[in-house]
Amino acid sequence: ETGVTQSPTHLIKTRGQQVTLRCSSQSGHNTVSWYQQALGQGPQFIFQYYREEENGRGNFPPRFSGLQFPNYSSELNVNALELDDSALYLCASSPPGTAFGYTFGSGTRLTVV
Amino acid sequence: GNSVTQMEGPVTLSEEAFLTINCTYTATGYPSLFWYVQYPGEGLQLLLKATKADDKGSNKGFEATYRKETTSFHLEKGSVQVSDSAVYFCALSGKTGRRALTFGSGTRLQVQP
């Protein structure tokens, strides 16, 4: 197992710009989810991908989009950045089955100025 | 919808004290329940889990029992250490379809020597 790796670790963007965050999941983990964690709060579910298709979305606007690739990597894209998008973005992956918890990466800290 | 309520922190204890962090949930059906821990500047680590009523999850001296009748999953540890200082999140996920995690707001634990 190689764990879940996210890049970059920190990022500063200007309001209105676009950003792409990347995640490399553990081999065999065909479910990947992205979460937004604002300072001092619990993570909020953005969306989930299963076998390269989105199969669930939280209460986030369409400017948040994603991709999952066959090599267990994935991306989170955010367009038209707003100041409130400043947060820690966490990627989490899970193997097949319903009884397992998710393995989280260390996150990307995004600051929008 | 699903929701998780945790006791507010910070919780400040002396080393070797007994720890309880309360967690209650609202969910459809019988979710899986989790405790995650977040150390400063890091992502989330799965601490323990329980997938059905009366299951007890345990790890590193921490325990939590899935109580369906009280919809609770309180975290306990008999003797805390300074190294246990972190933020603890209670979470749940459904067992079918989208298995997104719903988190509580987190409880910060500070253990003093």
Give B59-109 pLDDT, tens digit per residue.
999 999 999 999 999 999 999 999 999 999 999 987 766 678 999 999 999
Q: Which residues contact B82 (CB under 8 A, 6 or more apart)?
A: B15, B111, B112, B113
- Confidence bin at A94 (pLDDT 50/70/90): confident
In this structure, of A46-55, A87-96, B8-17, B96-105, the range with the lowest mean pLDDT score is: B96-105
What local confidence, expressed as pLDDT, does residue A12 receive? 98
Interchain proximity A104–B106, CB inside 8 Å:
no
Average pLDDT, chain B: 93
Interchain proximity B99–A31, CB inside 8 Å:
yes
Interchain proximity A98–B42, CB inside 8 Å:
no
* Closest residue in chain B to residue A96, using alpha carbons only: B99
Q: Which residues contact B21 (CB under 8 A, 6 or more apart)?
A: B6, B7, B11, B74, B75, B76, B88, B90, B107, B109
∠A106-B26-A90 over CA atoms, to 5°?
A: 10
Beta pairing partners, A90: A35
Interchain proximity B103–A48, CB inside 8 Å:
no
What local confidence, expressed as pLDDT, does residue B40 receive? 86
What local confidence, expressed as pLDDT, does residue A99 receive? 54
What local confidence, expressed as pLDDT, does residue A75 receive? 97
| Rounded distance between C-alpha atoms, residue B21 and residue B92, angstroms | 16
Q: Write the DSSP assignment of A33-101 as a string of letters.
A: EEEEE-TTS--EEEEEEETTEEEEE-S--TTEEEEE-TTSEEEEEE-S--GGG-EEEEEEEE-SSSS--
- Contact status of A62 with chain B (Cβ, < 8 Å): no
- Residue A102: pLDDT over 90: no
Q: What one-letter code names the amino acid at B99?
A: R
What local confidence, expressed as pLDDT, does residue A97 receive? 67
Residue % of chain A over a pLDDT of 90: 73
Report the first-to-last Cα separation within chain A, whole angstroms.
37
What local confidence, expressed as pLDDT, does residue B71 receive? 96
The predicted-structure confidence for A33-54, as pLDDT tens digits, reads as follows: 999 999 989 999 999 998 899 9
- Contact status of A66 with chain B (Cβ, < 8 Å): no
**Chain A residue numbers touching B104 (CB-CB < 8 A):** 42
Beta pairing partners, A64: A78
